[in-house]
A and B are shown apart, each in its own frame.
Chain A
Amino acid sequence: AQTVTQSQPEMSVQEAETVTLSCTYDTSESNYYLFWYKQPPSRQMILVIRQEAYKQQNATENRFSVNFQKAAKSFSLKISDSQLGDTAMYFCAFTVTSGTYKYIFGTGTRLKVLA
């Protein structure tokens, strides 16, 4: 079975500092996609960043970057220069590129950015 694990239920970081959120996954597939979604207090789910498994280069989007370790099945999210607006629940998610149409989500990490 495919699983996604986020082992940090809650984290906090000082404004302007850097924080890393962890995500591990389990799959026997060789090609897949990984995502980080942000859910602010408004409850709207927003895509933060995505990574294609066959690409070795880590994805980056402005202050957000990932550390993708395929052999270790690890996909962590780094937020640099944290801002108050980064306060949210963050979900790691996974989907394969063939066969199933399903996505698997982790249980989430609640991040609070402190002023």
Chain B
Amino acid sequence: DAGITQSPRHKVTETGTPVTLRCHQTENHRYMYWYRQDPGHGLRLIHYSYGVKDTDKGEVSDGYSVSRSKTEDFLLTLESATSSQTSVYFCATRPGLAAGNEQFFGPGTRLTVL
């Protein structure tokens, strides 16, 4: 399995506070993704990165920002957390655009915004 870790694994915070989730990979994969998982919605893409300092928005990017200053780290920031951002967040990586490349997932972070 790809070495993908997420921190923290669980977090409870209050509405209006900033929150940063970290994804760290040891596989030197080029592409990294942040998803949120909610009942009835499956996994929805928040932001993704196709290289250091190269990022783009996904389908549910409002209220989130990302940064990738080095290959191994991809940070997701909630500037001012809201209760609607309570969710499980997954980071994923992909080695490259070679045909058939699957995504590898981190263990997830459960975020609760009170």
Q: Which residues of A contact B (CB under 8 A)?
A: 6, 9, 33, 35, 43-45, 47, 50, 52, 91, 93, 97, 101-103, 105-108
Contact = CB atoms under 8 A, between A and B. Distances in A.
A101 B99 contact: no
A35 B101 CA distance: 10
Interface residues of B, number: 24
Interface of chain A: mostly helix, strand, loop or mixed: loop
Given A43-B107, A52-B99, A101 B43 contact: no
A47 B50 contact: no
Interface of B: 31, 33, 35, 40-45, 48, 50, 58, 88, 90, 92, 94, 97, 99-100, 102-103, 105, 107-108
B61 to A, nearest CB: 12
Contacts of A35: 102
A108 to B, nearest CB: 5
26 contacts: A6-B42, A33-B100, A35-B102, A43-B88, A43-B108, A44-B107, A45-B92, A47-B102, A47-B103, A50-B100, A50-B102, A52-B99, A91-B42, A91-B43, A93-B103, A97-B99, A101-B31, A101-B50, A101-B94, A101-B97, A102-B45, A102-B58, A103-B33, A105-B42, A105-B43, A107-B40
